Structure 1
């Protein structure tokens, strides 16, 4: 199965060249959100992209009352569609999920309800979980199946799972899969702070994703959307080939717990590898949310599966924050760019790794609350 295009909206920008250039420098996009709707550390989309979002909102009367998560997804989907060369005559499925959904509108309408004891007529249709894929389908005028779901932070990679199964079933040959998140709202961040996992230090790198020496949790929220176009078979225009997909869920001990050695990740990585030797994986794009236990448990799982020959390890959350349901697809985007440019993107906080001479295979991980892990193995 081929990935023939990726479209994204994130703090990195929207164009492939801009995104890659931003990966090549060691800076990050995390800042104090005083100019946003909160005062915590966040990674927001860039001002030029905000202008694109507002232009989209004002382009159609029906779009004026949509949540930003929907608008981000529409923009990312348009980019992906154009890159893939698909048209409205093509029959393709759409599965774009979200961890939090229309959180900004939820908060707005709930405040309105508390104040006035009534809400807008549009409060229900604009906050339903199916809101994202249905509006993307409307915008692209597609005629295939449309699915929305929330499986917390592994949502985007679960969308890839769904797309792969639909294609393998023969029902459709093309599928658009991804995630979208616009969760930089006061209530959402308050929830993360209540769990004691949010970053509190404004130092050089506020989010210390995969820094195993950190003594404080350092997760930072980001926002954005990312969508991949999947097609049956190995296409000439393929950006990458999906060689394997793995998934697993481990029993819950606590609502947000994950086992010390991340049993779910061990199972998902082994399933994604299949008959391929672990030695043949060159890079792993980790989930690594910047929490002490989350980062360490994933690392322990990787050591269990890959033993003494670890691939080069990286993540993008130190740069763009944790975009919840969109994060897995942004990780796939990073993996595809590394395969294309044959350049390993290092984590500035980590100095002990040797970049691979060649990048032929990249494994991408994602996990969410509830211990639901997904791993996707990509190759050139």
Structure 2
């Protein structure tokens, strides 16, 4: 028996491109990047910062309830993205659905602030512990939306958001939940986080037109840029009339740990996860792969080698969004998923402007989305164009 198909019925996002899919799609059609300077006091590093309109929404949110003023920025971004998704899906308050929202770093800003206070005075506020736990994200999202379903948070580095989708698919296929809200949230634009990335010698120092040269095989330096954002996806079982896209397959794999980064030269974990996601679909049917491609020399090259190993002579078009919005770590997978759904709905490929001569497909039916993080944890999600839309366009 074929596994139960899962429909994506809504996506809510907050990113350097703005609020929601409509705003994001228009920004994706703009060939320029959305990276700026000024996020890190005293350091001119590039970053994917949220626009002022998101800052205004965050201020409104923190002022709406006293307890929200004590939440970390990552939690607040998750609430904003989740509200957008649930409203789009038509899910009401007090309906039962599961929530799985993860983060790579969690309450980064709040933890650093509390630790700074402790370093100075030896004391911390009474709510320091509960407000900096990772489970804080899904718990507050579930509270805000009024759901009585399970609430899960986790951290699996940069593949966190797509691991949340794996969990949602598993819960729905098992029949243990009627609907699931999945995603990731990240607010990593702090001085200490930047220092950690710079210590790894992977942060961009590019002064060219594109600070992050994701997927550019000719780059001579690492060019990763941090970004902040959040995304939530509404999943429902079966073929749904409001489906934006269908999850055709899921794949996952973990490499044996040889280094703290632990990604082999040919990204064996990504090869395995892509093949698992493809299932019985011929490789030549895939139109696009949205690569994780953080902009590092070794990481990008390893993923390209993995894609070549899986697809061979039937190479699909390959693209990414980190050159445009930066690397949002644990939220990056769901923001890549948003790009994939946009391309399927609009039947338009979004390429990378500095990669001249790259393949550009016509009709789009299948898109594979990758994510991989420190520890060699890979996830691949195979999306199929929503069947109702596909019939309309046939």
Q: Distance in 1 between matches of 2:58 and 2:123?
A: 29
Aligned mate of 1:284, from 247, 267, 289:
289
- 1:191-340 alignment runs, 5 A limit: 191-340=196-345
1:171 aligns with 2:179: no
Match of residue 100 from structure 1:
105
What does the per-residue CA deviation read over 1:128-162, in whole Å, with 9 as the maximum and x for residues that have no partner?
01010000011001100000000000000000000
TM, length-normalised to structure 1? 0.98
Deviation at 1:257, TM superposition (A): 2.7
Tell me, which stretches of 5 or more residues in structure 2 are unaligned?
1-5, 386-394
Aligned mate of 1:70, from 68, 75, 83:
75
- C-alpha RMSD over aligned residues: 1.0
CA contact (8 A) 2:286 2:316 kept: yes
What does the per-residue CA deviation read over 1:238-297, in whole Å, with 9 as the maximum and x for residues that have no partner?
000000000000111110131111000000000000000000000010000000000000
Partner-residue secondary structure (3-state), 1:245:
strand
Deviation at 1:39, TM superposition (A): 3.7
Match of residue 121 from structure 2:
116
Match of residue 53 from structure 1:
58
Match of residue 127 from structure 1:
132
Q: Distance in 1 between matches of 2:39 and 2:72?
A: 21
Q: Distance in 1 between matches of 2:121 and 2:51?
A: 35
- 1:181-192 alignment runs, 5 A limit: 181-192=186-197
CA contact (8 A) 2:289 2:319 kept: yes
Deviation at 1:38, TM superposition (A): 5.4
CA contact (8 A) 1:344 1:355 kept: yes
Deviation at 1:308, TM superposition (A): 1.0
CA contact (8 A) 2:95 2:146 kept: no
Deviation at 1:41, TM superposition (A): 1.1
CA contact (8 A) 1:38 1:185 kept: no
Q: Distance in 1 between matches of 2:171 and 2:202?
A: 36
What does the per-residue CA deviation read over 1:16-35, in whole Å, with 9 as the maximum and x for residues that have no partner?
22211100011111111257
Aligned length: 380
Match of residue 392 from structure 2:
none
Q: Structure 1 371/34 Cα, relative in aligned 2: closer, same or farther at 3 Å?
A: closer
CA contact (8 A) 1:207 1:317 kept: yes
CA contact (8 A) 1:37 1:185 kept: no
Q: Distance in 1 between matches of 2:178 and 2:294?
A: 34
CA contact (8 A) 2:214 2:300 kept: yes
Q: Structure 1 43/37 Cα, relative in aligned 2: closer, same or farther at 3 Å?
A: farther
Tell me, which stretches of 5 or more residues in structure 1 are unaligned?
none
Q: Distance in 1 between matches of 2:95 and 2:143?
A: 14
TM, length-normalised to structure 2? 0.95
Match of residue 350 from structure 1:
355
CA contact (8 A) 1:81 1:229 kept: yes
Deviation at 1:203, TM superposition (A): 1.9
Match of residue 10 from structure 1:
15
